[in-house]
Amino acid sequence: MQQYDAYAAAYDRSGQLRFSILMDVYLRDLLRSHAVPGWTMVDLACGTGTLALLMAERGWTVLGLDNSPAMLAQAEQKRATLNKPVAVQFGQADMRDFALATPVDLVTCCFDTLNYLTAEAELACCLAAVARALVPQGLFCFDLATDYFLRHYWQGVEFEEFDGYSQVMHSHYDAATGCSTLVLTGFTATASGSYQRFREVHVERAYPDVVVRQLLAQAGLVVEAVYDCFTLQPPNERSLRLMYVARRRPPDE
- CATH number (domain holding residue 174): 2.20.25.110
Task: Mark the ranges of the chain whose per-residue pLDDT is less than 50.
Answer: 1
Based on the fold, state whether residues 85 and 19 are members of the same structural domain: yes
Are 72 and 66 in contact by the 8 Å Cβ rule? The answer is yes
pLDDT of residue 253: 60
Find residue 63's DSSP bridge partners: 42, 89
Domain assignment present for residue 3? The answer is no
- CATH number (domain holding residue 22): 3.40.50.150
Based on the fold, state whether residues 88 and 188 are members of the same structural domain: no
Q: Read off the pTM.
A: 0.95
pLDDT of residue 9: 85
Q: What is the DSSP letter of 36?
A: -
Based on the fold, state whether residues 122 and 241 are members of the same structural domain: yes
Based on the fold, state whether residues 211 and 199 are members of the same structural domain: no
Number of domains in the chain: 2
pLDDT tens column, 79-106? 999 888 899 999 999 999 999 999 999 9
Residues 6+ apart with CB under 8 A from 11: 4, 47, 48, 71, 74
pLDDT of residue 219: 98
Residues 6+ apart with CB under 8 A from 102: 40
Q: Write down the H helix ranges in the chain.
A: 8-11, 17-33, 50-57, 69-80, 120-133, 147-152, 209-219
Based on the fold, state whether residues 104 and 136 are members of the same structural domain: yes
pLDDT of residue 252: 66
pLDDT of residue 44: 98
Q: For 62-81, give one letter per residue: b (16+ CB within 10 A) or e.
A: bbbbbbbebbbebbeebbee
pLDDT of residue 1: 43
3-state secondary structure of 179: strand
Ramachandran region, residue 59 (left: φ > 0; alpha: ψ -120 to 50; beta: rest) = left
Are 16 and 71 in contact by the 8 Å Cβ rule? The answer is no
Structural domain span for residue 166: 149-205
pLDDT tens column, 155-177? 889 999 988 899 999 999 999 99
